[in-house]
């Protein structure tokens, strides 16, 4: 069965965001999300209308791939380079409020659980990501039949990590 490792991350995050928006009413943007910047290195709030769902899907994928992750580790992942006029830029961490609220919503949906080492996926969360990955992989095989020869009869990629 194809996993999140076998499909392109950008396609997975977009599809996962659509799935979360349709299937989980617990996941919805807070009122302040229209005005919030995602990090102090950004000049403006996100321009996309459904950016909250994309961030939740991205967090879900990161927890899937990188195993239990804390909010501090995610702040570093979502941070960026802050411009400092004449001086060279430095890395700045993202704000934790968006990450925490997204994690709380994913916990309420039953996709993520809190552990002593950080947040980890539940079996329900893993099955959601795997189901969306399988759909994407099947579409990839339809558009590129050469992938079917590489993956074998079972549909699982032989060289996956």
CA distance 60 to 121: 8
* Residue 25 scores a pLDDT above 90: yes
- Beta-strand runs (E) in the chain: 80-84, 87-92, 112-115, 118-121
Domains in the chain: boundaries: 9-121
Q: In the prediction, which pLDDT does 85 show?
A: 84
Q: Confidence class of residue 158 from pLDDT cuts 50, 70 and 90?
A: very low
- What mean pLDDT do residues 96-106 have? 95
Give residue-wise pLDDT tens across range 33-89.
Answer: 888 888 888 888 888 889 999 999 999 999 999 989 999 999 999 988 888 789 888
Question: pTM of the full predicted structure?
Answer: 0.86
CATH code linked to domain 9-121: 1.10.10.10
- 105-134 pLDDT, tens digit each: 999 999 999 999 999 999 999 999 999 999
Query: What was the pLDDT predicted at 67?
Result: 87
Sequence-distant (6+) residues with CB within 8 A of 51 are 33, 38
């Amino acid at each position: 069965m194809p996993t999140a490792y076998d499909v392109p991350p950008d396609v997975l995050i977009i599809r996962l965001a659509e799935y979360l928006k349709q299937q989980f009413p617990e996941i919805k943007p807070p009122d302040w999300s229209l005005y919030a910047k995602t990090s102090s290195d950004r000049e403006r709030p996100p321009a996309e209308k459904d950016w909250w769902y994309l961030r939740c899907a991205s967090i879900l994928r990161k927890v899937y791939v990188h195993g239990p992750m804390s909010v501090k580790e995610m702040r570093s992942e979502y941070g960026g380079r802050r411009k400092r006029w004449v001086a060279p830029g430095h890395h700045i961490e993202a704000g934790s409020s968006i990450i925490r609220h997204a994690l709380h919503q994913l916990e309420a949906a039953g996709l993520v659980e809190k552990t002593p080492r950080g947040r980890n996926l539940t079996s329900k969360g893993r099955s959601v990501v795997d189901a969306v990955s399988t759909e994407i992989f099947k579409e990839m095989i339809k558009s590129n039949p050469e992938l079917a020869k590489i993956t074998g009869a079972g549909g699982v990629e032989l060289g996956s990590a």
